[in-house]
């Protein structure tokens, strides 16, 4: 056996486990996104779900597979509600900021009323 292959095997095994965990985490994140969109917007909105779950979005937090793997591990160890809470607390503030910037850039951000300010 080539020594380089032997030395790299633990890293490859670790990466393989990350990808397995991420596969589950991706499914949990998609379920969270769809439920949130239906609850808040009362419509099916594929483009919004894609923005909420894309690697581009997740890369704003950490490496996308690592983020999805973390979600997957939380789901496996603590259950769906704990994974949803993690997503809500960590990813959704970033998503809301990005959505506000996108809507502002598109000229679709509603103007704030003076009564909303305080």
Domain boundaries, the chain: 12-98
* Average pLDDT value over all residues in the chain: 87
| Angle 61-93-48 from CA coordinates, rounded to 5° | 85
**Distance, CA of 66 to CA of 87 (rounded, Å):** 13
Residue reference for tokens 């292959």: 5
Q: With a cut of 90, say whether residue 20 has pLDDT above it.
A: yes
Quote the pTM value: 0.80
**Distance, CA of 58 to CA of 47 (rounded, Å):** 15
Q: With a cut of 50, say whether residue 118 has pLDDT above it.
A: no
- Identify the residue with better confidence: 114 or 52: 52
pLDDT of residue 66: 97
pLDDT of residue 3: 46
**Distance, CA of 69 to CA of 35 (rounded, Å):** 20
């Amino acid at each position: 056996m080539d020594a380089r292959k032997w030395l790299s095997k633990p890293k490859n095994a670790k990466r393989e486990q990350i990808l397995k965990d991420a596969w589950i985490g991706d499914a949990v994140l998609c379920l969270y996104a769809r439920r949130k969109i239906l609850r808040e917007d009362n419509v099916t909105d594929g483009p919004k779900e894609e923005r909420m779950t894309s690697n581009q979005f997740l890369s704003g937090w950490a490496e996308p597979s690592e983020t999805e793997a973390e979600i997957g591990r939380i789901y496996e160890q603590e259950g769906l509600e704990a994974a949803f809470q993690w997503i809500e607390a960590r990813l959704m503030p970033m998503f809301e900021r990005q959505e506000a910037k996108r809507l502002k850039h598109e000229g679709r951000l509603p103007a704030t009323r003076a009564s909303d300010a305080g």
